[in-house]
Amino acid sequence: MASSSKVFAPLALFLLLLGSTAAELSTSFYSSSCPRLSSTVKSVVRSAISKEKRLGASILRLFFHDCFVLGCDASVLLDDTPTFQGEKTAKPNNNSLRGFEVIDQIKNAVEKACPGVVSCADILAVASRDSVVILGGPYWDVKLGRRDSRKASFSKANKDIPPPTLSLSKLISKFSAKGLSTKDMVALSGAHTIGQARCTSFRGHIYNDTNIDVSFAKTRRSNCPRTTGSGDNNLAPLDLRTPTHFDNSYYNNLINFQGLLHTDQQLYNISGFISSVVKAYSGSTHTFFSDFVSGMINMGDIRPLTGSEGEIRRSCRKIN
Ligand code: HEM
Ligand SMILES: *[C@@H]1O[C@H](CO)[C@@H](O)[C@H](O)[C@H]1NC(C)=O
Ligand SMILES: *[C@@H]1O[C@H](CO)[C@@H](O)[C@H](O)[C@H]1NC(C)=O
Ligand SMILES: *[C@@H]1O[C@H](CO)[C@@H](O)[C@H](O)[C@H]1NC(C)=O
């Protein structure tokens, strides 16, 4: 026994390393199997955003809601059928997630260029990066090699995606449950520098919270009635200053108590570690961009399916 374990220990170590490298994502994953991937994705994203700027925000949010539920596996893209319950009607997603048609257009273009090769999960990761860049944010090389799930989870979509009513401590724990740090959470929240929210998502904050600028609350109340059920879908920009530009003004809003969501404004209360991070980002686009990029890479690493797990879907909306 002793001698055989001496022989097998190095072998076991080798297999362990092999196993862990096989599960790693890599920026060059499609460099020979689909060399035109990045230009193909970028041109579809660019034309979608040129028609409607908000779509860049919608795509970025799709990636977040994908990664937080069963990992970055395109589970969020699966349509409901009479025999399959997907994630699209879960509370955080229903009547809220958008951009699915853009993902379909990208998938069609990518299938033409390299049939059966690129996963929907990777398309979402690349399209999110492109959206950020096109709207003025930082560029990063996206790690690739994710595969698509053959399942979705309605219940985990309800449980794992943080709602806008969450307390700061619960917000921190939702992110840490996904392996993301408090700093990742603060930097990734900066995605709210673009896009829109419905009255139903910020009503509690503008009527009941006291950590809000009075005149800002008044402005937002004018298009978001107090009573649940009236004007629920009325929209307001998450960043009142530059809602279609990916910049650090989200953090300036927080310092001025002009965050739109309860969860946004909880990141700043003048004192404490989190407030000091918010201050740093409000003072330095460079620091925000660099931490946002690390956050996106960390989020993109959440439980990917690799190797022979899952599949490469033919249509992002249904399993093969
Ligand atoms: C920190 C916890 C977070 C909470 C509680 C949260 C919550 C929300 C809510 C309630 C909305 C508005 C939805 C609606 O009313 O229809 C929203 C929009 C958005 N979220 Fe988050 N979010 C969080 C983190 C993130 C992260 C990490 C990202 C991406 C990295 C992100 C990207 C976006 C974008 C871009 C929009 C606008 C989407 C659009 O205009 O279509 N959010 N978020
Ligand atoms: C999703 O929204 C639709 C339309 O508002 C509603 O009829 C449906 O009940 C909602 N689904 C869930 C699961 O809440
Ligand atoms: C505001 O607080 C009151 C009292 O706690 C509560 O009944 C009401 O539902 C809250 N309103 C919103 C919009 O959250
Ligand atoms: C402010 O937020 C920090 C977390 O960054 C928290 O520890 C502290 O208790 C909060 N202070 C006040 C006055 O609410």
| CB-based burial, 219-241: b 16+ in 10 Å, e otherwise | ebeeebeeeeeebeebebbbbbe
Q: Which residues contact 153 (CB under 8 A, 6 or more apart)?
A: 69, 70, 75, 87
Cα 275 to middle of ligand 4, angstroms? 8
The pLDDT of residue 23 is: 62
Residue tagged 């401590």 (tokens): 169
Residues 10-36 have pLDDT tens digits of 444 444 444 444 468 999 999 999 999
Find the ligand nearest to 68 CA. Answer: 1
Residue 27: how many CB atoms within 10 A of its CB?
Answer: 12
Q: What is the chain's alpha carbon radius of gyration, rounded to the nearest angstrom? A: 21
Mutate to test the pocket of ligand 2, among 84, 87, 94 (most ligand atoms within 8 A of CB): 94
- List residues bridging with 143 in a β-sheet: none
Q: Which residues contact 288 (CB under 8 A, 6 or more apart)?
A: 187, 190, 248, 251, 281
205 in active site: no
- Reading the block at residue 29, the tokens are 């994953």
The pLDDT of residue 21 is: 41
Asked whether 314 and 83 are in contact (CB, 8 A), the reply is: no
The pLDDT of residue 257 is: 98
> Does the C-beta of 94 come closer than 6 Å to ligand 2?
yes
The pLDDT of residue 5 is: 44
Does the structural domain 27-162 have CATH classification 1.10.520.10? yes
The pLDDT of residue 16 is: 44
- Reading the block at residue 229, the tokens are 């059920």
Cα 5 to middle of ligand 1, angstroms? 52
Cα 90 to middle of ligand 2, angstroms? 8
Tell me which of 65, 205, 245, 262 is the catalytic residue: 65
Which atom of ligand 2 has the smallest separation from the CA of 90?
13
Superfamily of the domain at 179-298: Peroxidase, domain 2 (1.10.420.10)
**In the predicted model, is pLDDT for residue 173 greater than 70?**
yes
Find the ligand nearest to 172 CA. Answer: 1
Cα 154 to middle of ligand 3, angstroms? 27
The pLDDT of residue 4 is: 43
- List residues bridging with 158 in a β-sheet: none
Asked whether 254 and 265 are in contact (CB, 8 A), the reply is: yes
- Residue spans of the domains in the chain: they are 27-162, 179-298
> Does the C-beta of 155 come closer than 6 Å to ligand 2?
no
Q: Which residues contact 27 (CB under 8 A, 6 or more apart)?
A: 141, 142, 143, 144
Residues 71-91 have pLDDT tens digits of 999 999 999 999 999 999 999
**In the predicted model, is pLDDT for residue 208 greater than 80?**
yes
pTM of the model: 0.94
| CB-based burial, 175-186: b 16+ in 10 Å, e otherwise | beebebebbbbb
Q: How confident is the model at residue 137 (pLDDT cuts 50, 70, 90)?
A: very high
Q: Which residues contact 228 (CB under 8 A, 6 or more apart)?
A: 200, 203
Is 285 part of any known ligand binding site?
no
